Amino acid sequence: MNTYWHTWTAYIPVVVAAALVLIRPLWPLTRHTVTLAHEAGHAVAALATGRRLTGIRLHSDSSGLTLSRGRPRGPGMVLTAAAGYLAPSLLGLAGAVLIGAGQRRALLWGALVLMAAMLLFIRNVFGLAVLVVVGAAFGLVAYYGSASLQEHFGYLAIWVLLIGNVRTIVEGAQNRSGQTDVDQLRGLTHLPRVFWILLLIAISVAIGVLAWRVQYLG
C-alpha cells in the first residue's frame, strides 16, 4: 500500500460513501450508481452464459431491468439472476485491487469502457442520462484529476458499491412484490427467499471485508 494511505485521509472515502448510502435523503440518488453496477452484472452474466441480451432499462425510482433471451431455467439463468446482487461488490473488490496495485487510472478508464458497452443496450432516456452523468464524472476525474483526487474518487466509488450493495439486498428482502431477483432465484431453485437473502448478504459482507484488507492491510 502506498504511504499516502497510511494517513487519516485514507478513511475519508469510506466515511463519505457510508453517508451517501445511509443518509436517507441522499440514498435515492446514490442508489442509481449501485443499480447501474447491478444491471451490468445481469448483462455480463447473460452474455457469459450464452443468453441473448436484449436491453437494459434504468428507472427514475432507482430500479432497473435487464432483459435477455434463452433457456428459462438452468444454471445459466440462476447465475444471471444472482449476478445483479453480486456485481456491485465484485466490482468494488476489483477496483480496490487495481488501486492497491497502483492502477487507479485503469480503474477509472475500465469503468468508462463498461459504461460505453452498456450504451449499446440501454433502452430508455433516463437510463441514457444516468450513464452519461456517471460516465462524465469518471471521465473528468480520469482526464483532469490529480493522483490524489483519482485515488479518493476511485475508493469513494468502490465503497459506495460495497456498502450500497448490502443495503439494496436488505431492501430487496423487504420487497414482497414477488418480482425481485430473490423471488426469481426462489422460483428457479425452489430454495426459500431467506436462503438467498442470507447467502447474498454473507457474500457481499465477505467481499467488503476482503476489500478493506486490500485497502488498509494489504
Rounded Cα–Cα distance for residues 37 and 73 (Å): 24
- Segment holding 55, helix H or strand E: strand 52-58
- The predicted-structure confidence for 177-210, as pLDDT tens digits, reads as follows 888 999 999 999 999 999 999 999 999 999 999 9
Q: Is the pLDDT of residue 1 over 50?
A: no
pTM for the model stands at: 0.93
**Set of cell numbers at residue 171:** 431492501
- The predicted-structure confidence for 140-186, as pLDDT tens digits, reads as follows 999 999 998 999 999 999 999 999 999 999 998 898 888 899 999 99
135 within 8 A of 112, measured Cβ to Cβ: yes
Q: Return left, alpha or beta for 59; rule: phi > 0 is left, psi -120 to 50 is alpha, else beta.
A: beta
Got the DSSP string for 144-169? Answer: H--HHHHHHHHHHHHHHHHHHHHHHH
- The predicted-structure confidence for 62-71, as pLDDT tens digits, reads as follows 999 999 998 8
Per-domain residue ranges of the chain:
3-217
